[in-house]
Homo-oligomer: A and B are copies of this chain.
């Protein structure tokens, strides 16, 4: 029976998160003060602290939301197919598209050194999305689709290039959009570990 929050409040909350994400990604968490967020969002300090108990709480809300989003993206891409090859490709494709369409959100997930400002955050490599990638590779080895080898080594060889591609895309050091390199990187990576 909890009534919906009034739209205004929800809007303010979203505005704070969007603005903070923008500034955190552009200048980093520590170089962004609460007053910077206040100014950019055209709000008051009081309003911000009404919605979030601290600057760290803003970062934590972003972290939780964006990590959940990325986890779901990877999980749903992976579950669309049965073979490891197609599952892996689907994950690579979705991540690459996300990096192009919502670069700031992916940047916050992939680039930020979360543990520097969120002590409880695990290193990104041990987060769910990366566990899922390892699972795909493990299944592929078990089914014989991927040659017998250390699953960690196989996972690095298969997804390492794609992740580097996304990182470079997010750093704006590529001439072409990331998707235009993706197929070639993926094919080479897959060739390297397939039976």
- Residue ranges of A at the interface with B (Cβ–Cβ < 8 Å): 27-31, 111-113, 116-117, 123-126, 149-150, 152-154, 156-165, 167-168, 171-174, 181, 184-185, 187-193
Contacts and interface: CB of A to CB of B under 8 A. Distances in A.
18 contacts: A30-B30, A30-B31, A31-B117, A112-B113, A123-B172, A125-B167, A125-B171, A126-B173, A149-B184, A153-B181, A153-B188, A156-B168, A157-B185, A157-B189, A158-B161, A160-B189, A161-B161, A187-B192
A62 to B, nearest CB: 16
Contact of A125 (B154, B162, B173): B173
Contacts of A125: 167-168, 171, 173
Contact of A113 (B28, B124, B157, B162): B28
Given A30-B28, A192-B188, A161 B171 contact: no
A28 B160 contact: no
A123 B188 contact: no
A126 to B, nearest CB: 5
Given A28-B113, A123-B173, A159 B164 contact: yes
A156 B173 contact: no
A128 to B, nearest CB: 14
B116 A28 contact: yes
Contact of A171 (B31, B123, B165): B123
A192 B154 CA distance: 12
